[in-house]
Amino acid sequence: MKIGIVCYPTFGGSGIVATELGKALSETGNTVHFISYAQPARLNIFSDNLFYHEVSIKNYPLFEYPPYETSLTSKLVEIVQFEKLDLIHVHYAIPHASSALLAKEILKSMGIDIPVITTLHGTDITLVGKDPSCKPVINYSINNSDGVTSVSNSLKEETLGLFNITNKINVIPNFIDIEKYSKVKRNPYKSKLCPNGEKLLIHTSNFRKVKRIQDVINIFCKINKEIPSKLIMIGDGPERANIESLTRSLCSLRDVMFIGKIPDVENVLYKADLFLLTSEKESFGLSALEAMASSVPVISSNAGGLPELVEEGVSGFTCDVGDINSMSEKALHILDKKNIKGFKENALRVAKNYDINIILPKYIEFYKKILNND
């Protein structure tokens, strides 16, 4: 198959999943064309069947804001027309799905019929989707896509509750390359940060308010009073300065390291002891899956799709959003020397259910179903 993938090029979950999906598809003999305004962060390899096309955005004095959707639509028409694509797979409902559907109509006028598959990732529904200025476009995009997938049952149900959906939504969860995580043999931070055997905790996010990162700091401070511990904060975003200030007031920056965005998070997760994810909204929880793939148990909120991912009392625990006392208690239970080995083993076992070798065939089967109009 010749597949066009449209995604955001950032370190966010939707961009990472889309990029890893495209790379895996190319390794199984399919030809994949990425279309975005910048090279996807995880697109670090190229081959004779893996391509990237940049959407250039023109700045004209007439436009207060550059018209990205128009540029994306035109680029999609061009790529489908000249690369003879079989289908377009867009990740994120707006503006990717709406642009792809307009491109589909333009191509139809040229005698070219191409199916559009839309994957819903979360904030396109839970945040952007609630905006009245976006809601009609998202509703139209979902209902008029040839196929729709969601990364969790929770997101599917929320979508059905927020919109007037007449199209079928198929759940295909996010995935991870277990082999990639099993190859890691060294954590460059562990020996430096934990020279005396302290427990190592990790948090990864885009440092936005929805992640409730203040809860991560409060939980860590409670844990550190009971068990000598260190915390690594991975990522960057608008709340970072506030969180660093909170850290200075509650505990010590000697115990908490902010390392910003990194491409190879698996190197930091290796040999870590616990992963904290306290979001008030989380459609799937890809960062938690990355942790479990590194044999790191998870303490998380019970928001969105997290209870589907974290097996309660097995690979970790989920607690009510904002309940830092319960999260701290559960964390201390996991970190107890009598329990931690079992939780680490279970975390990896659960993560293996989401290995790319299990999930990729589901996408390929779905593509074939759409192409055959089944």
Rounded Cα distance, 220 and 272, in Å: 14
Instruction: Give pLDDT, residue 335.
Output: 97
Whether the Cβ atoms of residue 142 and residue 118 lie closer than 8 Å to each other: yes
Domain check: are 185 and 289 in the same one? yes
C-alpha dihedral, 221 to 222 to 224 to 229, nearest 10°: -80
Domain check: are 304 and 187 in the same one? yes
Q: Domain span at residue 73?
A: 2-175+355-371
CATH number at residue 308: 3.40.50.2000
- Residue 184 Cα distances to 179, 274, 374, angstroms: 9, 17, 42
Whether the Cβ atoms of residue 298 and residue 277 lie closer than 8 Å to each other: yes
Residues in Cβ contact with 130 at an 8 Å cutoff, skipping those fewer than 6 apart: 162
Domain check: are 49 and 197 in the same one? no
**Distance, CA of 272 to chain centre:** 21
The tokens for 98 are 């709406």
Q: Please list the pLDDT of the chain residue by residue as tens digits (374 residues).
A: 999 999 988 766 778 889 899 999 999 999 999 999 888 877 877 778 999 999 988 777 777 777 889 999 999 999 999 999 999 999 988 889 999 999 999 999 999 999 999 999 887 776 666 778 888 999 999 999 999 999 999 999 999 999 999 999 999 999 999 998 988 888 888 888 888 889 999 999 999 999 999 999 999 999 999 999 999 999 999 999 999 999 999 987 789 999 998 878 899 999 899 999 999 999 999 999 999 999 999 999 999 999 999 999 999 999 999 999 999 999 999 999 999 999 999 999 999 999 999 999 999 999 999 999 87
Domain check: are 24 and 72 in the same one? yes
Count of alpha carbons within 13 angstroms of residue 312, beta-carbon side:
7
Domain check: are 94 and 231 in the same one? no
Domain check: are 342 and 359 in the same one? no
Question: pTM of the prediction?
Answer: 0.90
Domain check: are 261 and 168 in the same one? no
Q: Please state the domain count of the chain.
A: 2
297, burial (CB in 10 Å: exposed 0-12, middle 13-18, buried 19+): buried
Domain check: are 161 and 250 in the same one? no
Domain check: are 121 and 182 in the same one? no
Strand runs labelled E in 142-265: 147-150, 169-171, 199-204, 229-234, 256-260
Domain check: are 151 and 226 in the same one? no
At 26, the amino acid letter reads S
Domain check: are 285 and 193 in the same one? yes
